[in-house]
Amino acid sequence: MLFNSYTFIFFFLPAMLILWWWPGLSRNQRLALLTIGSYVFYGWAEWWYCLLMLGSTIIDYVAGRRLAPDKPHRERLAWLLVSLAANLGLLAVFKYAGLMARSVNLVAGWVSGSGPELLEVPDIILPIGISFYTFQSMSYTIDRYRKRVPETESLLEFAAYVAMFPQLIADQLRAIPTRLTASRVALGLHFFIFGLSKKLLVADPIARAIDPLLKHWEWLSFGDAWLSMTGYSLQIYFDFSGYSDMAVGLGLWLGFQLPQNFDSPYQALGFSDFWRRWHITLSQWLRDYLYIPMGGNRQGLPRAAAAILVTMLLGGLWHGPSWTFAAWGLFHGLLLALEHALHRLKLWSPPAVLVRLATFIAVVLGWVLFRADSFPMAAHLWWVMVGGTGIAFVPEAQPFLLVLATLGITWCWMARNTWDGTASLRPRRAVLLALLFMACVLVMTRPSPFLYFRF
């Protein structure tokens, strides 16, 4: 089910909110409602998606109980490995099996020169949200092993924590609010409608403009290549930040405060700053569960650079079963490692405006790997963008895309962050939100999935 669909907005969401705030419901009844509703949300397209989530939930709940601090270390380590094997095994089968088979066949073809494929490439549908809920569930058992979090009170509470369609932090489920305040309703409207507008009124029109251009990437000129990739940089930002804003709004309507996931990332002053602003929850997960355990920056520059590269490589692969995603992560890892070395050695301190511009240009170049269907496509786009086929910034694409890209960049560099919004619905603001919502409803006839749904 999509946040940006008539089914969700006019049927599922109102039903969930009415039942959630129904007078007299006990805490367990509301947790059960939240869990069932979330399973309906995830299983709307394919019911068996729910079985994978349920399996991961039960295994990690049982493992969490066996990870009590007073248990023997060997037993605790064994249960942690059970949790990691189950979750990573799900990802390996349902997300990366095809990539592994294709890679083995490719290497075998290089060695033999020709011949039949060694492995059959499985045709497996990627379950929606599998990367999110496996990481969510796995982080609980890791933290239990580290003795950082208490044991979850019940399987029902843990199931709600893993499955909740707008993701939240676990400790809020231990004190479920009993009343909805007007300020939360107003702030929820602010987040939900602005997020919906980012997706339907900005990201989707940009996608419709750039997809035909990138479909014929071999013929793009210098100007059109830069315009297309700048457009994609804006599409993915408004698409994913829009989804995150809508989730925050939904959380507020349920009485919860979800963490901020975007903080004007295209205003970043450097690559470390970019990753403190872009997909903040994932960045923090990579930092806490990969980078720091590998030594972080505590053991010298070479060790820190290696930890950065490995962390970002795995972070790239998290996004999808393709080596272009891994290369995108490695690209950012190299930039982060270089920046880390320059800062530590105090070799370079350029003006802030140049740092911001250079960061944005490098991020756009990185998105080439993220968007490309193959390495030849990425290499060709890079070659065109650095002037390999000539420099003439006269885009041949439709003026509509140029206008959207200009407005989008201006918004990303100058506009206030969504989190600067107010809980007050003054008449002018209420009219603005109503008009935006009406415009979204009118263009919602064929909702497109959010880009991060496939991750």
Could you report the per-residue pLDDT of 53-96, keeping only the tens digit for each? 999 999 999 999 999 988 999 999 999 999 999 999 999 888 88
pLDDT at 114: 60
Rounded Cα–Cα distance for residues 60 and 137 (Å): 7
Would residue 12 count as lying in a domain? no
Instruction: Look at residue 151 and tell me whether its pLDDT is greater than 60.
Output: yes
pLDDT at 169: 47
Would residue 60 count as lying in a domain? yes
412 and 355 in a common domain? yes
* Averaged pLDDT, 375-395: 84
Active site residues: 319
Domain boundary residue, one of 153, 178, 203: 178
390 and 258 in a common domain? yes
Instruction: Look at residue 341 and tell me whether its pLDDT is greater than 80.
Output: yes
328 and 381 in a common domain? yes
326 and 397 in a common domain? yes
Rounded Cα–Cα distance for residues 137 and 161 (Å): 8
294 and 355 in a common domain? yes
369, 378 in Cβ contact below 8 A? yes
304 and 161 in a common domain? no
Instruction: Look at residue 395 and tell me whether its pLDDT is greater than 70.
Output: no
**Mean predicted lDDT score pLDDT of the chain:** 86
Would residue 2 count as lying in a domain? no
Q: What is the pTM of this model?
A: 0.90
State the DSSP code for 8.
I
188 and 56 in a common domain? no
213 and 105 in a common domain? no
217 and 158 in a common domain? no
Q: 170: pLDDT confidence band, cut at 50, 70 and 90? A: very low
Range of the domain at 385: 183-449
325, 372 in Cβ contact below 8 A? no
* Averaged pLDDT, 30-49: 89
Would residue 399 count as lying in a domain? yes
198 and 139 in a common domain? no
CA 380, distance to chain mean position in Å, is 27
Give just the sign of the alpha carbon dihedral 40, 44, 47, 50.
Answer: negative
Would residue 258 count as lying in a domain? yes
Domain boundary residue, one of 178, 205, 224: 178
Nearest one of 151, 17, 25, 133 to 76, comparing CA atoms: 151
97, 122 in Cβ contact below 8 A? yes
Distances (CA, A) of 56 to 134, 148, 363: 7, 21, 35
135 and 236 in a common domain? no
Could you write out the three-class secondary structure of 387-426?
Answer: CCCCCCCCCCCCHHHHHHHHHHHHHHHHCCCHHHCCCCCC
Would residue 15 count as lying in a domain? no
155 and 208 in a common domain? no
Number of folded domains that form the chain: 2
Would residue 9 count as lying in a domain? no
pLDDT at 135: 86
Backbone angles phi, psi at 28, to 5 degrees: -65, -35
Distances (CA, A) of 382 to 50, 168, 226, 333, 367: 41, 39, 9, 18, 11
Would residue 218 count as lying in a domain? yes
* Terminal-to-terminal C-alpha distance of the chain: 15
Domain boundary residue, one of 178, 199, 223: 178
